[in-house]
Structure 1
Amino acid sequence: MMSFENKVIIVTGSSSGIGAATAIKFSKQKAKVTIVGRNESKLKNVAEICEKNGSKPLMIVADVTNEDDAKKIINDTIEHFGQLDVLVNNAGMFNNVSILDPHAIEKFDQILATNLRSGVYLTHLAVPHLIESKGNIVNISSAASTKTFWPENFAYCTSKAGLDHFTRSVALELAPKGVRVNCINPGPVKTDFIEKLTMDKDEQDKIWADIERTTALSKIAESEEVADLVLFLASDKAKSITGSSYVIDNGALLK
């Protein structure tokens, strides 16, 4: 059984989706969790669930692309809990961008700032504390880091490919110091991102059905399934695993 009692975990992007599911699962394991997000009301909902599980989280409303906010995330966690054992770099964004778009570079920079640079900077800030605790890092990447599933997706794919290689590079550097670094590469996951695209329920159902057909198993993963993998990689059960990318895509890369 995985035990996170008295372990301190930071989960970015934890107001919904994979991040929320991960924070909630850590709270069930009696971990001390810092939840981070930009949407305060959604973050409060996650905090309430964590507290019902017996673990009152530290809630930080922050933008991970802002360096001052990133420092606040690490500093407030250390001040509140006294240590850091696991950093989950989950915050991310998805936007289609055409290379022909007049604003392509501006959009590219925005996506890289969220999906790649923020994780790099938080890792930079967190590493001294993780060396002290012999902790670990789990980065949430994407199956799109290795396969381009549709056109006009160069910015997102590039950001996630960079995150994969960052994971391997830092894993090699930190291994002698006892810090493990891994990443997870989800395929389609049932989150609220489709709802953000359209309010029409029939259209939402059609989009999800189309996405299901892109996977070998004809199904879409739930956020909780990805969260289970996060907890495994963060636990002592994965003590011999570092620099690895774990795909959870229902066979999307096979098609």
Structure 2
Amino acid sequence: MILSVLSAHAPLAANSAPTHKVYISSEELAVTVGADAATVEGQFQFKSARGSGAKSSTFVAIPVWIPFKAAQGNTSLVSMVKVQDNNSFHKLEGPLLKAWDETIGLKFTVGNQEVPVGMLRIVRPWSFTKSEGTPKAWLHDGWILALAMIYCPPPLMQGSSEARLRYRQPLRKTRGGAEFLYLPQFYYQPEGTTTTDLEKFAMKVQAQQGLSLSIGGALLPAGQSATLPLIHHQAIKVLVTAP
């Protein structure tokens, strides 16, 4: 999942919000993959987990995957990747804000209200020890995480809330082609529920004109699209194979 709710004081991998637990009741994504970057557009439905505080605030962390080896000549991407103090919070302002807007351009709205990104947290998952609890699903060669931290005051995330998301994700250059990565994450789901219903949880992938893709070894010809399931911690990787 692209949206994880957590507390500002929670451990990195805990993905918990003790003040207001929220779960995703639907997630619909549309991903258009280009030669160098993909555009991700999402529509999410949120619900308060049973027993959560009715008037508490929520922090939303939006993990955006960024190639560790920045594309040559992309100065904005280089400046983001070079943030040295791993796992620290950085106020999104000045040169960092400029680089973020030029590279990622993330927009997050709840209902009709756009909610800005307040802090950025650059995470290199492989740099943590096992005792720090980094999920194995976060470990992907050549990728780091930029966690966009968004503060949602009540009543934005109360009851049943709809959110929309749009951002650009730079692709990682590999020998097999440019790679796109997405990691679904779901927490606090009611007991007995799953995310296998493609009417509620799905990603539609298509390529820009003139490109073909490879998804799990299967070729997706130019001009066609594929609908993929969103399963907790089952990574989706897409390669641009042509031209």
Q: Normalising TM by the smaller chain, what interval?
A: under 0.3
TM-score of the superposition, structure 1-length normalised? 0.26
More strand by proportion, 1 or 2? 2
Larger RCO (CA within 8 A; separation ≥ 6): 2
Normalising by structure 2, we get a TM-score of 0.27
Q: More helix by proportion, 1 or 2?
A: 1
